């Protein structure tokens, strides 16, 4: 469930007040207006933020992509985006990317990328266009570690970003015995262990919470380090399958 309305705006303002600067939204989430309202409520300068939104499948194509982008800007109350992604590798990807390249060259987007692309889809985009995607935002967490994607994204020089670093708590993530044991060792929560695991692998993680206490907790991962034995234990949790089969 995506945070929207007054609750969504409050959550964005709370996150910014705690020090968060990367905000991730999308047309399909239905909360771009709430994110914009939260930014306004926070009183922070626009240039201090890194705002990401995404182009949905229904808006694919050259003209439609440009129209959708402008609508996202309007809802967010900004005149540029820091990052704009093709949300899924469906529809008219070729002409959507062409439109995004033009918006990038015009300075309306600071960087462009993709989400949920596999290696062949990503390589096709790189080989047949002038501007390379800077990010591939995919499902990855301790139960779906995606070592193959981790390697090929490194090979192509594309940043890996986790859109669900906690797997939304599926498969009992927050009560997992191995993660809890690692957390106890470092006096940290399971959530902090998961985020630190992403951080040490060089993966950008986007945690989501409506609770200010959890937002604060999610930031407190820079005063400890997972050792080799911790990383090995976590590697054994990989089930090598999506925890969101309904989204594939």
Residue that is written with structure tokens 């890996």 in the block: 160
Compute the distance between CA of residue 232 and CA of residue 235 in angstroms, rounded to an integer. Answer: 5
Cβ burial of 40 (10 Å; 0-12, 13-18, 19+) is: middle
* Residue 199 falls in the annotated catalytic set: no
* Options 2, 20, 29, 62, the catalytic residue: 29
Give the full edge-to-edge strand order of the sheet including 112-115. 22-24, 50-55, 83-86, 112-115, 135-138, 159-162, 204-205
Compute the distance between CA of residue 41 and CA of residue 35 in angstroms, rounded to an integer. Answer: 10
**Within 10 A of 79 (CB to CB), how many other CB atoms are there?**
10
The catalytic residue positions are 29
């Amino acid at each position: 469930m995506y945070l929207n309305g007054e609750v969504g705006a409050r959550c964005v303002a709370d996150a910014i007040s705690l020090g968060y600067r990367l905000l991730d939204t999308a047309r399909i989430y239905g909360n771009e207006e709430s994110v914009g309202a939260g930014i306004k409520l926070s009183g922070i300068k626009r240039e201090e933020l890194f705002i990401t939104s995404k182009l949905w499948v229904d808006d694919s194509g050259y003209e439609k992509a440009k129209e959708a982008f402008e609508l996202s800007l309007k809802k967010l109350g900004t005149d540029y985006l820091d990052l704009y992604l093709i949300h899924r590798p469906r529809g008219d990807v070729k002409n959507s990317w062409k439109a995004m390249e033009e918006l990038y060259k015009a300075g309306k987007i600071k960087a462009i990328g993709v989400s949920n692309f596999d290696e062949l889809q990503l390589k096709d985009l790189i080989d047949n266009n002038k501007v390379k995607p800077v990010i591939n935002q995919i499902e990855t967490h301790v139960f779906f570690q995606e070592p193959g994607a981790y390697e090929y994204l490194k090979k192509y020089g594309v940043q890996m970003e986790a859109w669900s670093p906690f797997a939304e708590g599926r498969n009992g993530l927050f009560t997992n015995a191995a993660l809890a044991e690692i957390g106890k060792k470092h006096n940290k929560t399971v959530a902090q262990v998961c985020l630190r695991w992403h951080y040490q692998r060089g993966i950008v993680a986007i945690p989501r919470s409506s609770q200010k206490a959890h937002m604060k907790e999610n930031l407190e991962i820079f005063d400890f380090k997972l050792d080799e034995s911790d990383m090995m234990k976590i590697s054994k949790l990989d089930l090598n399958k999506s925890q969101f089969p309904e989204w594939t």
